[in-house]
Amino acid sequence: MSPKEEIEQLRRELDQHNYNYYVLNQPTISDFEFDQKMHQLEDLEMFYPQYADPNSPTQRVGSDLNQSFKAVAHKYPMLSLANTYNEQDVRDFYNRVKEGLEGEDFEICAEMKYDGLSISLTYVDGALVQAVTRGDGVKGDDVTNNVRTIRSIPLKLREGSGYPHEFEIRGEILMPWTSFEKLNEERAKREEPLFANPRNAASGTLKSQNSRVVAERGLDAYLYYLLGDEIPSDGFHYENLQQAASWGFKISQGMKKCKTIEDVLAFIDYWDTERKNLPVATDGIVLKVNSLRQQRHLGFTAKSPRWAIAYKFKAERACTRLNEVTYQVGRTGAVTPVANMDPVQLAGTMVKRASLHNADVMEELDLHIGDMVYVEKGGEIIPKVVGVDKTQRQPGLQKVQFIKTCPECGAELVRFEGEAAHYCPNDSACPPQIKGRIEHFISRKAMNIDSLGPETVDDYYKRGLIHDVSDLYTLTIADICGVNKNRVKSAQKVVDGVKSTLQVPFERVVFAIGIRFVGETTAKLLARRFKSMDALRNATMEQLMEVDGVGQVIAESVVKYFQDLKNVEIVEKLAGFGVQMQLSEEHLSEQTDKLAGKNIVISGVFQHHSRDEYKAIIEQNGGKNVSGISKKTSFILAGDNMGPSKLEKAQSLGVSIVSEEEFLAMLK
């Protein structure tokens, strides 16, 4: 076989395995074999760059190159669908179609309405050439590089499947629930803002400038609309999509042709509960006239087709009056608008406040004080305002404008490029920011002063006793009691609590000082790498980013923190009071580099130390404890009763197994 043929064959094989895994959910080879083939192909492609192909399966990992998106005009505008919310609306739609078709027989294709973001994919000669977001429906962003990393989107269509020379296929890009939960867990650990729902997460991801990030986030795609000059004009939507499935696309779950309105209603009824078992978010059912000829006959209104409609599942929704919009300022200064409404029953609870997220969301809703607004509890926990019933709007109501200044301190708000939120920049004098930082400092995982809580912090702050965390260390019993002598006992506890923080290890101090994005785990990593506050303060971007788990965002945040002289002053005061500013002697003497660069899996039951102790030992010696066995695993620290499947995997990957005794001997 020539190298070219070998490359082509490997690409075909890997495409097939991707399809088996990501579209059919039925892998036929192990991850290991897959990785091996992928490496083989990578090597060949490196050797023979003349055969490079942007649609090769090796290109699905993305690239760190920064990209900006080009605006592209859609060949056919991307319209939206009219929404309906109840059975009567569905019956009305059905009857309109019937009338429009003047008594001709027709079928309705029922399918899921996916709650992600729409995408239009163009294929020429069986290869993906362009992926464009909906944008304003006329023009969208070219996000081809990012879309290439989505494993369930075919880069090359399956051979011999008779696809047209050129066509467009539209669908929805989604983040499955499992990926969404994992992503938010990771973000919580790093103290980054959480995504409210999978749709926002998918949208944020797809617009990422860095396609490697997209590749790691596990996006998925379902396709629901085929277009193009070569699509036979006397064909049928359902049959077209079945064809598309044979070319390698994922199509709607449970798609069904309905002959009567009863069939349609039964479909809706079934999926209203069954959708909860799907791996991705859906928010309704889409009904489409199946015959393309009949679709053309029915045509479009200015905004949407007359041959299709969306039935939205009843997200638990209520309608109530908007009385006021207030604004909350968080520890980081982010300002969140909140709708205050007449109390209303929603999904089992009484709701009177709902999030409005940010200025853009508010503007889009076009809110007026006194409006009747729809509130929903959807995939997210906090209820949100989703719309306004404009038919009930009274004349003369005043439109809500996002505030320009901080409601807490009056500072002029700022908005950073590319961010949706407004911030109060007055971090040194804005009360909720000050109190928030102190609350963080005293929290359990930070300095753990359990004799203090948010109410006491608020009280001390209002009485002018504390402005920043260093003031905690000069509090006296007399200060705390003030005129109230009954407080002596609790005051003593506070003073003792503060004193006890002098024992808190350096790692937790790094967490407690509240560097943005530095969570508990990152703080530990930084403390172990830099060993003292002075070293951390003087660390460069490059040195910071060398730490495993520290990327650009965290590194920048650390540098920025220490550039602010107010922070430096606080840290110096804390040092003066005796707060730990370096790793303890004990910790330092226990630290070695003996396991530097090693990824170690712990498995089984141990005699000499617990699993947690082994984890700490690995970290103290510069190694990393990882959970799954892969070819990157350096060795497995195995106790008794290691599972047979793990053993088998280790053997097949050639990963060595180290006993407890051997491991301890290694560190001697």
Residues found near ligand IVH in the complex (CB under 6 A): 79-81, 111-114, 118, 172, 224-225, 252, 286, 305, 308, 310
Contact partners, residue 576, CB within 8 Å, separation at least 6: none
Q: In the complex, what is the shortest distance from the CB of residue 225 to ligand IVH, in angstroms, rounded to a whole number?
A: 5
Structure tokens that stand for 280 in this block:
């991705």
Contact partners, residue 36, CB within 8 Å, separation at least 6: none
Given the complex with ligand IVH, which of 111 and 439 has the nearer CB atom? 111
3-state secondary structure 386-452: EEECHHHCCCCCCECCCCCECCCCCCECEECCCCCCEECCCCCCCHHHHHHHHHHHHCCCCCCCCCC
Q: In the complex, what is the shortest distance from the CB of residue 296 to ligand IVH, in angstroms, rounded to a whole number?
A: 13
Supply angle C-alpha 57, 62, 63, rounded to 5. Answer: 135
Q: In the complex, what is the shortest distance from the CB of residue 226 to ligand IVH, in angstroms, rounded to a whole number?
A: 11
Q: How many residues does the chain have?
A: 668
Backbone region of residue 157 per phi and psi (left: phi > 0; alpha: psi in -120 to 50; beta: other values): beta
Q: In the complex, what is the shortest distance from the CB of residue 261 to ligand IVH, in angstroms, rounded to a whole number?
A: 19
Chain centroid to CA 274: how far? Answer: 25
Spatial separation of the C-alpha atoms in residues 279 and 112, rounded to whole Å: 13
Chain centroid to CA 267: how far? Answer: 31
Spatial separation of the C-alpha atoms in residues 600 and 658, rounded to whole Å: 10
Q: In the complex, what is the shortest distance from the CB of residue 286 to ligand IVH, in angstroms, rounded to a whole number?
A: 4
Distances (CA, A) of 104 to 7, 305, 382: 53, 19, 47
3-state secondary structure (DSSP) of residue 572:
helix
Given the complex with ligand IVH, which of 310 and 650 has the nearer CB atom? 310
Q: In the complex, what is the shortest distance from the CB of residue 79 to ligand IVH, in angstroms, rounded to a whole number?
A: 5
Closest alpha carbon to 346 in 374, 319, 317: 317
Edge-to-edge order in the sheet of strand 108-114: 83-84, 308-312, 282-289, 108-114, 256-258
Q: In the complex, what is the shortest distance from the CB of residue 352 to ligand IVH, in angstroms, rounded to a whole number?
A: 30
Q: In the complex, what is the shortest distance from the CB of residue 219 to ligand IVH, in angstroms, rounded to a whole number?
A: 15
Pairing of strands 282-289, 117-124: unpaired
Given the complex with ligand IVH, which of 224 and 271 has the nearer CB atom? 224
3-state secondary structure (DSSP) of residue 490:
helix
Q: Sign of the C-alpha dihedral, residues 558, 563, 566, 569?
A: positive
Given the complex with ligand IVH, which of 118 and 320 has the nearer CB atom? 118
3-state secondary structure (DSSP) of residue 636:
strand
Given the complex with ligand IVH, which of 307 and 327 has the nearer CB atom? 307
Beta pairing partners, 317:
376
Closest alpha carbon to 109 in 240, 236, 251, 257: 257
Spatial separation of the C-alpha atoms in residues 87 and 312, rounded to whole Å: 11
Q: In the complex, what is the shortest distance from the CB of residue 312 to ligand IVH, in angstroms, rounded to a whole number?
A: 10
Q: In the complex, what is the shortest distance from the CB of residue 154 to ligand IVH, in angstroms, rounded to a whole number?
A: 19
Spatial separation of the C-alpha atoms in residues 339 and 328, rounded to whole Å: 11
Q: Are 34 and 17 in contact (CB under 8 A)?
A: yes
Given the complex with ligand IVH, which of 250 and 377 has the nearer CB atom? 250
Given the complex with ligand IVH, which of 19 and 224 has the nearer CB atom? 224
Spatial separation of the C-alpha atoms in residues 213 and 207, rounded to whole Å: 10
Q: Are 468 and 462 in contact (CB under 8 A)?
A: no
Given the complex with ligand IVH, which of 112 and 650 has the nearer CB atom? 112
Sole residue written with tokens 């977001």: 133
Q: In the complex, what is the shortest distance from the CB of residue 291 to ligand IVH, in angstroms, rounded to a whole number?
A: 15
Contact partners, residue 592, CB within 8 Å, separation at least 6: 620, 621, 622, 667
Given the complex with ligand IVH, which of 153 and 308 has the nearer CB atom? 308
Q: Is 113 a catalytic residue?
A: yes
Given the complex with ligand IVH, which of 18 and 295 has the nearer CB atom? 295
Pick the catalytic residue from 4, 70, 75, 113: 113
Q: Are 122 and 129 in contact (CB under 8 A)?
A: yes
Beta pairing partners, 258:
108
- Distance from the first to the final alpha carbon of the chain: 53
Q: Are 431 and 449 in contact (CB under 8 A)?
A: no
Distances (CA, A) of 208 to 65, 428, 594: 11, 32, 38
Closest alpha carbon to 211 in 267, 297, 144, 304: 144
Given the complex with ligand IVH, which of 199 and 508 has the nearer CB atom? 199
3-state secondary structure (DSSP) of residue 603:
strand
Spatial separation of the C-alpha atoms in residues 106 and 117, rounded to whole Å: 30
Given the complex with ligand IVH, which of 72 and 174 has the nearer CB atom? 174
Given the complex with ligand IVH, which of 203 and 336 has the nearer CB atom? 203
Q: In the complex, what is the shortest distance from the CB of residue 218 to ligand IVH, in angstroms, rounded to a whole number?
A: 20
Spatial separation of the C-alpha atoms in residues 617 and 466, rounded to whole Å: 39
Q: In the complex, what is the shortest distance from the CB of residue 243 to ligand IVH, in angstroms, rounded to a whole number?
A: 16
Q: So which residues are the catalytic ones?
A: 113
